């Protein structure tokens, strides 16, 4: 029998190194991991719930702010409409006064 070629030896050496590396990486990950997968999932779920609650709170705050803004705009519109009506009345009175003065002098 002939001896394995350099290419065949390199392929088996690579595969062995890869397997050893995977096993060593998995062992280190299990040793150095700060929490179990279940604990990590629970933590992520809790954080997601908290984020959802904060988003709902912010949405409620925004809704309240929008309602207050609409009230302020409605009040301002009412005051402006009143001022415009008073201005039109004043202009009409002044026009009548001027027309009367013009007809008296003619």
In this predicted model, what pLDDT tens digit does every residue of 2-23 receive, in sequence order? 555 555 555 678 888 889 999 8
pLDDT in tens, 19-68: 999 988 887 877 777 777 788 788 888 989 998 898 999 899 999 999 99
Burial class of residue 38 (count of CB atoms within 10 Å of its CB; 0-12, 13-18, 19+): exposed
pLDDT band at 1, cuts 50/70/90?
very low
The full set of domain ranges for the chain reads 1-33, 37-105
Question: Cβ–Cβ contacts within 10 Å for residue 2, how many?
Answer: 4
pLDDT value, residue 4: 55
| Whether the model pTM is above 0.75 | no
């Amino acid at each position: 029998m002939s001896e394995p070629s350099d290419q065949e030896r390199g392929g088996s050496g690579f595969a062995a190194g890869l397997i050893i590396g995977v096993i060593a990486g998995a062992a280190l990950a299990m040793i150095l991991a700060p929490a179990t997968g279940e604990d990590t999932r629970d933590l992520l779920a809790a954080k997601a719930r908290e984020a959802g609650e904060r988003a709902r709170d912010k949405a409620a705050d925004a809704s309240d702010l929008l309602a207050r803004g609409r009230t302020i705009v409605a009040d301002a519109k009412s005051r402006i409409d009143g001022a415009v009506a008073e201005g039109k009345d004043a202009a009409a009175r002044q026009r009548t006064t001027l027309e009367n003065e013009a007809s008296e002098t003619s």
